Structure 1
Amino acid sequence: MNNYTPKDIIDVDNNATKVFERRDVKEQLPSWLQTNKNMARFFDSVVNIWFQPAYEARVTGFISQKVRDLNSEDYYISETTDQRTFYQLEPGTTISDENGDLSAVESYIDCMNEMEVQGANTNNHDRLFNTDFWCWTPPINIDMFINYYNYYWVESGPKVIEITEPTNVVLDIIGKQYFILDLGAGETFEFQSGQKVIFRNDANLEYNDIPFIVDNVGRSIMLIDNTPFESNGETLPDYIVMERGSSDDNQWSYVNRWFHKEQIHTEDNIQQDYKQASRPIICFERNIQLRDSGMFYRKEVDVVLYDSKASVENTTTSVDGINLTDGMR
């Protein structure tokens, strides 16, 4: 039979010893029942614990998951099971009724215990809660959206780089992934997106003496005529644009004057008329199909003809009073 004599317990608050009485309920039974071993075991293990006097003791320590960055000497109050140790204070579930009143509260541990009772294998929590997921990447320039402070709105573009060495734009540059120009004496010049270049000695005369913006390096190099912007005045930055060089030449692509700071640095650093982005830039990928729009840009027409082609071919020299000349559209 268990010993229920009074036991000394330390009172932490007053640093003193208190004596707490241990009660044995079976002593209230008739004497002939007190000697029954089975009855004694039942009362010792089940009944007596409900009739013991309460006592309190102050305990100082942390309760939560242990974090590596915390002081290794911090004291955590021990839990009775590994599950309670690993998931202390984990978020739970609250259920409200139709009136918005709280009707049930269930912790993470309660949820796992209920699943185990229902027959689930709770040894691997990742397997229980793992599910399919998707990552959505919008068709925009992520760097311009996140690191927008590295971009400047420059109406006329960066400082021009003159290329006097012999080149062949059509064969060696346009459409190539990369291009490095040999300057002689062991020096080279590498093309990068955002540069403004002008060719002085290209094999294709139509590319000489025209300022071009280099773009799409790393995929398929493009040269975009910058002539329309060379003499433009200042304009306000547009934070919703499209990459330069879109095949339909839409306005979002045409007016895009954002350049990375690496392409516009000068000896005087950033010029005063360069406008640094103050918020994320949404720059869509070029050649996205726009609603109710074509995919390829057709140049502006000079004359609109409402008759059939055969009615004027080889016979008409003017339409609506406008004299037709070679090259008109």
Structure 2
Amino acid sequence: MDWLYRFPNLDNATLTNLKKAIDETFRNFTRAYGDAIEGFFNPLQYFLIQAERFMTGTPWPVILLLIAAIAWFSSRSIKITIGSVITLFIIGYLGMWEDTMKTISMIFVCTVIAILVGIPTGILMAKSNRLQSVISPVLDIMQTMPSFVYLIPVVMLLGIGRVPGLIAVVIYAIPPIIRLTNLGIRQVDRDVLEAADAFGSSPWQKLKNVQLPLALPTIMAGINQTIMMALAMVVIASMIGVQGLGQPVLKAISNQYFTLGIFNGMAIVGIAIIFDRISQAYGARLQKHLEITHGQ
């Protein structure tokens, strides 16, 4: 009866040989194609470096004015605009300005890449049920896999540095924008689509002029969630060389620096609140505008 209590599995020798074969295959792949893969990501590294130089090299009053302008344009709310400026001012006053600018530049680049990849993927999913059935399980795996696991393949392929961390953050944060782009386009009213067909719209015109504008509030919700997930990955990505607020938090954990960890952790929370309020307010404005337009 022992077999009832002992789950059948491979013997140790077979399992060890299988693991060795997989590891050796991956090592051979990285040796053969590692340099080519690094070269492919050079433009991404250039984009990140330029964004970081702009954020860290621009005088702080200009950055505050720029953030205030973005907050006002997105929300049309004095409360959100002033709150964003005060939050950043306090972060800078407590000596975390440069790390904060590096983190914001990282989140900006990650969000841009996620938008460029995620929105077209979501559109393709909305157009094809077969493609949706293939991509949805992949997104499920991406969202349930522990965040540390994303670091393993990128570090083995690209080593320690900013670009591997950036890729890991993008992979971790991209599922919401893909899902919500797909959902937003699929939820567009069929009567509206039939009206567009009646006016002789081509598939591209229907997508550009009808589906995407009506799905934009849902897409903005996806962008909001992507930003939040990217910020959540910042501390973990600091383990492989991503600069910013995550590295002081990691240092605080390693050396039991309580105040260092709390201050930088609260700075991450402050940035998250700023991004969340601005993106949500912009999505709400879009929704209201579309409701007024649709009602007319």
Greater gyration radius: 1
Query: Which category of TM-score, normalised to the shorter sequence, fits these structures?
Result: under 0.3
What TM-score comes out, normalization by structure 2 length? 0.17
Identify which of structures 1 and 2 has the higher relative contact order when contacts are C-alpha pairs closer than 8 Å and 6+ apart: 2
Question: Higher strand proportion, which one?
Answer: 1
Question: Higher helix proportion, which one?
Answer: 2
